[in-house]
Amino acid sequence: MRPLFRLPLFSLPLLLLLLLSSTDAQSHNITRILAKHPEFSTFNHYLTTTHLADEINRRRTITVCVVDNAGMSDLLAKHLSLPSLKNVLSLHVFADYFGARKLHQISKGSTTTSTLFQATGEAAGTAGYVNITDMKGGKVGFATGNNEGEYGDLTSTFVKSVDEIPYVVAVIQISHVLLSPDAEAPVSGPGALNVTTLMEKQGCKAFADLLKSSGAEETFVQNVEAGLTVFCPSDGVLSSFMPSYKNLTSEGKVSLLLYHGTPTYKSLGMLRSKNGKMNTLATEGANKYDVTVQNDGEDVKLDTNVVTATITGTVIDEDPVAVFKIDKVLLPRELFKEAPPAPAPAPAPAPKGSKGAKEKDTAADAPAPAADEDSVPADQTASANGAIRIVNFRGGWMSVALSLILGCLVFI
């Protein structure tokens, strides 16, 4: 009986920790918060389009400065590219919590705060910072910095608090969009994005190597700017397929690799809401080298008529480029019709489990907003532990730790 009595005493703090960590990512949803306020619908729309909403939902102790639809029309009139628009909107997300009360209690009357634009690494000087000043008459003003380390005029002022989850997220309305030539500047562009390097870093090195050695890389690179989605078999999956790959003609090799890309950007969310045929980079003419997207609960599956692969992780998912990991090589029926190959990549459970763990690491460490919340359930399919499915990464590790400790205590 004694162990049972001891158990709650030991596990209480752990349980609290678990609760705190597992509610981490779910604690706020900016899209839902703003949906209650139609006057901010344009701002809300662009938070989704630029994927900033995901970034906001992932973070804690932040402030989102929203402007109403009229204020947004000033910004949209500038016809910025989506990446530049994203940078401007990033300026509206402060990496600190400024509820209405704190705004009116700024010590010495003025402070500066870093923003998500600063977090992109693209801002020079103080261009990624915002100056918050308690002005005469109780007004609070905001000014953006610039690449020379100065702050401009306080062109925008605090209007009202929209919603506050204390010390998690403050959503406040400001009078005007925060403009800054640095944030509005054309972004060096996704052309600079090196897809093969990204793949190499995130468990798809073997696939990236094949793209290079076969010459197929060029077609992928050419599509990066206009939109590209890649399904890369992760390293363990590809190695068991290599004997069959070597058997293909060089033309066949290129077709097989191009078959793993599609010339448009598709987020995991878009794939989840899609069922049906999809073109690939190998498609030439109708019904050639297409693949069928199938949804199965949270899972997204790709059916070639020869094999059905499942998306198991996200390497990057940021408009205009998405790269997802899959658990099987996609075999086009044009090449594998007659002979579904004997070494069909059905990875053994053992390497799969360790791969799952590795994927979580890389996803959690990802510098870019690469591994979004979306990738969580998909990654979990590689995990044998059902308990991990419902919690996020940090919560997942915590629950593993907790189960281990509880397990030990039960044995005492």
Ligand X SMILES: *[C@@H]1O[C@H](CO)[C@@H](O)[C@H](O)[C@H]1NC(C)=O
Under the rule (CB under 6 A), what is the footprint of ligand X?
29, 31-32, 57, 110-112, 131, 133, 143, 151, 154, 194, 196-197, 221, 243-244, 247, 341, 373
User: If we measure between CA atoms, which residue out of 405, 390, 398 comes closest to residue 20?
Assistant: 398
* Residue 385 DSSP SS3: coil
**Which lies closer to ligand X via its Cβ, residue 3 or residue 343?**
343
**Which lies closer to ligand X via its Cβ, residue 33 or residue 88?**
33
Please report how close the Cβ of residue 57 comes to ligand X at its closest, in angstroms.
Answer: 5
**Which lies closer to ligand X via its Cβ, residue 143 or residue 322?**
143
Q: Which helix (H) or strand (E) holds 141?
A: strand 140-144
Angle (CA) 272 275 276, round 5°: 140
What is the total residue count of the chain? 412
Please report how close the Cβ of residue 48 comes to ligand X at its closest, in angstroms.
Answer: 8
Which residues have a Cβ under 8 Å from the Cβ of 98 and sit 6 or more positions away? 63, 113, 132, 170, 172
Please report how close the Cβ of residue 257 comes to ligand X at its closest, in angstroms.
Answer: 15
392 contacts 24 by C-beta, under 8 angstroms: yes
Cα separation, 86 vs 151, whole angstroms: 21
Please report how close the Cβ of residue 343 comes to ligand X at its closest, in angstroms.
Answer: 6
**Which lies closer to ligand X via its Cβ, residue 77 or residue 342?**
342
Q: Per the structure block, which two tokens stand in for 309?
A: 């692969």
**Which lies closer to ligand X via its Cβ, residue 221 or residue 270?**
221
Which residues have a Cβ under 8 Å from the Cβ of 201 and sit 6 or more positions away? 362
User: If we measure between CA atoms, which residue out of 276, 317, 318, 320 comes closest to residue 294?
Assistant: 276
Please report how close the Cβ of residue 112 comes to ligand X at its closest, in angstroms.
Answer: 5
Please report how close the Cβ of residue 189 comes to ligand X at its closest, in angstroms.
Answer: 12
**Which lies closer to ligand X via its Cβ, residue 110 or residue 147?**
110
Please report how close the Cβ of residue 2 comes to ligand X at its closest, in angstroms.
Answer: 43
Please report how close the Cβ of residue 264 comes to ligand X at its closest, in angstroms.
Answer: 19
**Which lies closer to ligand X via its Cβ, residue 80 or residue 97?**
97
**How many other β-carbons are positioned within 10 Å of the β-carbon of residue 33?**
20
User: If we measure between CA atoms, which residue out of 79, 55, 49 comes closest to residue 184?
Assistant: 79
Q: Which helix (H) or strand (E) holds 131?
A: strand 129-134
**Which lies closer to ligand X via its Cβ, residue 42 or residue 355?**
42
Cα separation, 254 vs 332, whole angstroms: 12
Task: Tell me which DSSP letter residue 89 carries.
Answer: H
**Which lies closer to ligand X via its Cβ, residue 39 or residue 373?**
373
Please report how close the Cβ of residue 35 comes to ligand X at its closest, in angstroms.
Answer: 6
Give how far Cα 24 sits from Cα of 12, 17, 355, 366, 393, Å: 18, 11, 25, 18, 10
Please report how close the Cβ of residue 219 comes to ligand X at its closest, in angstroms.
Answer: 11
Cα separation, 400 vs 394, whole angstroms: 10
Please report how close the Cβ of residue 406 comes to ligand X at its closest, in angstroms.
Answer: 29
Cα separation, 129 vs 144, whole angstroms: 6
Task: Tell me which DSSP letter residue 147 carries.
Answer: T
Which residues have a Cβ under 8 Å from the Cβ of 340 and sit 6 or more positions away? 306, 307, 331
**Which lies closer to ligand X via its Cβ, residue 36 or residue 277?**
36
**Which lies closer to ligand X via its Cβ, residue 183 or residue 208?**
208
